Amino acid sequence: MARADLILNLVRTGINGDEQLFRKTVEAIAAEEQSKKHFALAERLMELLKAPITQSTRPSKSSDPKLQNAYYVVDPKKSLDDLVLSKPVYNSCKEIIEEHFRKDLLRSYNLEPRHRILLSGPPGNGKTSMAEAFAHELMVPLFVVKYEGIIGSYLGETAQQLDRLFEQIKSQRCVLFFDEFDALSKERSDPNEVGEIKRVVNALLLQIDMLPNHVMVIAATNHAEMLDKAAWRRFETKLELSKPTKIMIEKWLNRFQEHVEHGLGFTSKTLSEKLIGLNFSEIEDFALNIQRRYILGLPETNIKKITTNHLKHLKR
């Protein structure tokens, strides 16, 4: 798989080189993989070549000065396999990714790949990481919306900013990520909301409907019950990221302990039983804090004692 990753990286970063030589090289690699019966990789390579070179997949700064603070761009590093997910969620993600790499086959049957995803669940369980993983798997940049650059204080200003944002984004292959989506798409029947909010929701839903499927839009919310009902219907796939189970915690700890010299002093199975109820962000903080105390106390520290002490003071 290391060689496969290298090949896919070549495709991702080679767009700016000699186009003719680049295409010939990738075609030769794809042919070689095909001869080795690596059909999925060969098909993935050829699919990438079909995208026009002028349609950039690289992060770009906004040409509209009014959008300079509307989003920031992330070069994705995390893959789907870097995340610890439940099997149903993982399988759903893999299916969507496959749809995008085999979209020509779907289109031959008048079908399109799904490209609107809603992530819900309590904070700290990987919604932002999942958006990054989708971008990594699709080999496109991740555009993260900044609400302070979108929401205006004047009548109609927010809707206008949304129009500008979507107009620029839709020309690029990317993942567009809205965190805390309920900030923009609250239920319109809420008697506490003013007419301006309702106009914003209308504008947002219309723009989402008009997005081409080379733009994957991912929205995340910690308060699914606050979303407008029509917003729910806009998303073809709805995934809930709940707090990790004991098995998922153990898997995360196994990965962590494999990458640190002294581990955490206990087996992952033992620790997972004591960390049930925490989210992934809290578990990561717990593990990293232990490592900090261990390193700063060298050479006389005892990792098991440090972990035991942190467990005693663990806040749930």
Tell how far CA 202 is from the center of its chain: 25
Is residue 109 included in any domain, yes or no?
A: yes
**Backbone angles phi and psi of 186, in degrees to 5:** -65, 155
- Cβ atoms within 10 Å, residue 146: 13
* Overall average pLDDT of the 13-42 stretch: 71
CA distances to 62, 83, 134, 276 from 282, rounded to whole Å, are: 35, 15, 23, 11
Question: Do both 94 and 44 map to the same domain?
Answer: no
Question: Do both 234 and 112 map to the same domain?
Answer: yes
Is residue 59 included in any domain, yes or no?
A: no
Number of domains in the chain: 3
Inform me whether the pLDDT recorded for 79 exceeds 90. Answer: yes
Which of 90-104, 176-190, 271-285, 288-302 has the lowest average pLDDT? 176-190
Question: Do both 28 and 153 map to the same domain?
Answer: no
* Cα 311 from Cα 127, distance rounded (Å): 26
Reported as half-sphere exposure (CB side, CA atoms, 13 A), residue 184 has a value of 28
Question: Do both 203 and 256 map to the same domain?
Answer: no
pTM over 0.75: yes
* Overall average pLDDT of the 278-299 stretch: 95
281 burial level (CB within 10 Å; 0-12, 13-18, 19+): middle
In the structure, what pLDDT confidence band is assigned to residue 84 with cuts at 50, 70 and 90? very high
- For position 57, what pLDDT does the model report? 44
Query: Could you list the residue range(s) of the whole structural domain that residue 28 is in?
Result: 2-49
Question: Do both 306 and 212 map to the same domain?
Answer: no
Is residue 54 included in any domain, yes or no?
A: no
Per the model's pLDDT, the better-predicted residue between 246 and 5 turns out to be: 246
Question: Do both 264 and 119 map to the same domain?
Answer: no
Looking at 139-224, list the stretches that DSSP marks H as alpha helix, in order from N- to C-terminal side. Answer: 157-169, 195-210
